[in-house]
C-alpha cells in the first residue's frame, strides 16, 4: 500500500506473540496499559481471547520496505458484538434482516475494556491515515462487513472521520485531580450538601466492620486473585446471566506482567477477601476496571471503586481517575461527564448511509446530554458554601 512516496505493507497476526514486545510497545508507548503487549498477551494466554471466545486476534502491523514496524493496532475478527461497550447490535440486526451478513467484522479495541486511548499505535511522525487505509484494504480483502475503532482518541477520531469513517460519540465520567493535597481538600471543593453526603457514605462503609486495603503488585497474592475471580463471576452472573469474558487464569498472569501497575482495593472479613475493585495505573490516569463482591454492605461499592481511587490518585499525583462505562451516579461523587469517541468503516453503501444518518442525530443528542449532565456537577459554584 502506498503512503506518499513510501511503500508500506500491512500484515495481520493471529497472536500478539508474533510481534516482539519491544517493537509493539515502542509504538504503543507506556501511557495506557490496556494496549500494552503485556495486557494483550495476558488475554490470549489465559484463553480470554482467541479460541471460542468470538475474539479472534488479527493484530495489524504496518511496516516500511525495510521491515521496520511503523505502527500496530490491537485487531480482532469478531463473530458477535459482546464485550465492546459501544453497541452496534441494531446495525447488525437491520443489515441481516435485509439479507446482509454483518459478522464477522473487524474490531480495533482493548477487549472487554471501555478505556479511552490510542488504538492506532503509530510511531512519531507516521500518520494515522496510513493504518486506516491498511485496515480498510484488509477488511475488503477478507470480504468482511466493517471495521470499528472503539474508545479511540479525539485525534484519531478526527483523522478517521477525514478518511471517510463514520464518527460516533459517547459519554463517560472521569475525576480530575486539581492538585489536591488530600481527600479533604477535594471535599472542600464540593458544595456543602455533596460534601456531607460523601462523608456519610464513607462513614457507613467504614462502619460495616470490613478491613479495607489498597494492594499493589507483589502485595496481591494468589488467594486474592482466586477471590477476585469469584467476585467477578458474581457480578457477571447477576447482571447478565451469562458466561464471564475473562477466565480465572487471566488475573494472576495480569498481575505478573503488569506488576505495580495493578492496584486492587479489597474489603476483608476475618482475613478473607469479600469484595474488590481492580484498577490499572497508566502514566496519566488510574483506570477503574472490574468490581465484584460476595457481600452486601452499605456504600462499599462507592468506597472501593470511587473514593479509594481518588485517594490513591491524590497520594500518587495521578492526573485523573477513569471509572469505566456508564453511571450517572458518579457525578455526585466528583466524576464529571466527558465525551468518548469511536469510528466505523462500513463496506455496504446502503448500510453506511443509514448508519451515517443515525450517527449525525445521535452526536447532536450526545452533545446536548453531556452539557446537561455537566450542570449536575457537585463542585461549588461562586457564592456557594
Residue 326 belongs to a domain: no
347 neighbors 166 (Cβ within 8 angstroms): no
Strand runs (DSSP E) across the chain, as ranges?
2-3, 6-7, 9-13, 55-57, 59-63, 69-73, 75-78, 105-108, 121-122, 146-152, 166-176, 211-216, 262-269, 272-281, 285-293, 320-325, 336-346
* Residues 50 and 193 placed together within one structural domain of the fold: no
Domain endpoint, select from 318, 349, 365: 318
Q: Which residues 6+ apart lie within 8 Å of 139 measured at CB?
A: 106, 146, 147, 345, 347
* Residues 15 and 142 placed together within one structural domain of the fold: yes
* Residues 222 and 314 placed together within one structural domain of the fold: yes
* Residues 187 and 151 placed together within one structural domain of the fold: no
DSSP conformation class of 303:
I
Residue 333 belongs to a domain: no
Residue 382 belongs to a domain: no
Residue 332 belongs to a domain: no
* Residues 20 and 138 placed together within one structural domain of the fold: yes
DSSP conformation class of 135:
H
Residue 380 belongs to a domain: no
231 three-state secondary structure: helix
* Residues 113 and 189 placed together within one structural domain of the fold: no
Structure pTM?
A: 0.94
Angle at 139 between CA 45 and CA 101, to 5 degrees: 95
5 CB burial (10 A radius; 0-12, 13-18, 19+): exposed
Residue 383 belongs to a domain: no
Report the alpha-carbon distance of residue 158 to residue 278 in Å, rounded: 32
* Residues 120 and 140 placed together within one structural domain of the fold: yes
Report the alpha-carbon distance of residue 94 to residue 188 in Å, rounded: 50
Q: Which three cell numbers stand for residue 113?
A: 475494556
169 neighbors 343 (Cβ within 8 angstroms): no
* Residues 40 and 68 placed together within one structural domain of the fold: yes
* Residues 198 and 114 placed together within one structural domain of the fold: no
Number of domains in the chain: 2
Per-10-residue mean pLDDT, the chain, length 385: 71 98 96 97 98 96 96 97 95 97 98 97 95 97 98 98 98 98 98 97 94 96 96 80 83 97 97 96 96 93 97 98 91 97 98 98 98 97 69
Question: What is the signed CA dihedral for 88, 94, 98, 99, rounded to 10 degrees?
Answer: 40
265 neighbors 219 (Cβ within 8 angstroms): no
- What's the farthest any 2 CA atoms get from each other in the chain? 67
* Residues 32 and 75 placed together within one structural domain of the fold: yes
Residue 287 belongs to a domain: yes
44 neighbors 21 (Cβ within 8 angstroms): no
CATH number at residue 303: 3.40.630.30
Place of cell 481511587: 309
Residue 323 belongs to a domain: no
Report the alpha-carbon distance of residue 355 to residue 213 in Å, rounded: 47
What local confidence, expressed as pLDDT, does residue 239 receive?
63
DSSP conformation class of 379:
B
* Residues 246 and 118 placed together within one structural domain of the fold: no
* Residues 241 and 260 placed together within one structural domain of the fold: yes
Report the alpha-carbon distance of residue 307 to residue 371 in Å, rounded: 25
Q: Which three cell numbers stand for residue 294?
A: 460476595
Give the domain range for residue 101.
Answer: 2-171+338-374
Amino acid at each position: 500500500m502506498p503512503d506518499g512516496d513510501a511503500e508500506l505493507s500491512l500484515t495481520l497476526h493471529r497472536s500478539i506473540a508474533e510481534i516482539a514486545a519491544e517493537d509493539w510497545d515502542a509504538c504503543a508507548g507506556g501511557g495506557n496499559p490496556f494496549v500494552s503487549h503485556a495486557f494483550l498477551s495476558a488475554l490470549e494466554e489465559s484463553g480470554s481471547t482467541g479460541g471460542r471466545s468470538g475474539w479472534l486476534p488479527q493484530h495489524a502491523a504496518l511496516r516500511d520496505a525495510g521491515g521496520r514496524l511503523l505502527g500496530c493496532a490491537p485487531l480482532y475478527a469478531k463473530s458477535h458484538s459482546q464485550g465492546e461497550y459501544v453497541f452496534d447490535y441494531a446495525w447488525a440486526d437491520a443489515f441481516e434482516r435485509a439479507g446482509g451478513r454483518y459478522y464477522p467484522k473487524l474490531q480495533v479495541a482493548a477487549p472487554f475494556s471501555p478505556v479511552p486511548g490510542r488504538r492506532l499505535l503509530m510511531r512519531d511522525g507516521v500518520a494515522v491515515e496510513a493504518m486506516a487505509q491498511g485496515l480498510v484494504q484488509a477488511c475488503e480483502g477478507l470480504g468482511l462487513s466493517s471495521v470499528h475503532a472503539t474508545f479511540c482518541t479525539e485525534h484519531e477520531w478526527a483523522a478517521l472521520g477525514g478518511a471517510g469513517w463514520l464518527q460516533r460519540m459517547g459519554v463517560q465520567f472521569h475525576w480530575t485531580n486539581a492538585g489536591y493535597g488530600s481527600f479533604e481538600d477535594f471535599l472542600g471543593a464540593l458544595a456543602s450538601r455533596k460534601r456531607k453526603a460523601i462523608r456519610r457514605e464513607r462513614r457507613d462503609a467504614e462502619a460495616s466492620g470490613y478491613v479495607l486495603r489498597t494492594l499493589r503488585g507483589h502485595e496481591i497474592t494468589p488467594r486474592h486473585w482466586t477471590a477476585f475471580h469469584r467476585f467477578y463471576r458474581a457480578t457477571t452472573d447477576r447482571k447478565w446471566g451469562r458466561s464471564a469474558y475473562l477466565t480465572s487464569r487471566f488475573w494472576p498472569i495480569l498481575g505478573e506482567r503488569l506488576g505495580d501497575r495493578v492496584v486492587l482495593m479489597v474489603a476483608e472479613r476475618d482475613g478473607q477477601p469479600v469484595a474488590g475493585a481492580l484498577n490499572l495505573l497508566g502514566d496519566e490516569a488510574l483506570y477503574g476496571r472490574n468490581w465484584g463482591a460476595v457481600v452486601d454492605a452499605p456504600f462499599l461499592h462507592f468506597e472501593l471503586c470511587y473514593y479509594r481511587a481518588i485517594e490513591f490518585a491524590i497520594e500518587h499525583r495521578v492526573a485523573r481517575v477513569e471509572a469505566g462505562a456508564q453511571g450517572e451516579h458518579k457525578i455526585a461523587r466528583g466524576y464529571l461527564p466527558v465525551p468518548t469517541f469511536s469510528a466505523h468503516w462500513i463496506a455496504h453503501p446502503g448500510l453506511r448511509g443509514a448508519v451515517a444518518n443515525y450517527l449525525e442525530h445521535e452526536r447532536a443528542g450526545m452533545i446536548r446530554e453531556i452539557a446537561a449532565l455537566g450542570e449536575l456537577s457537585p463542585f461549588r459554584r461562586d457564592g456557594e458554601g
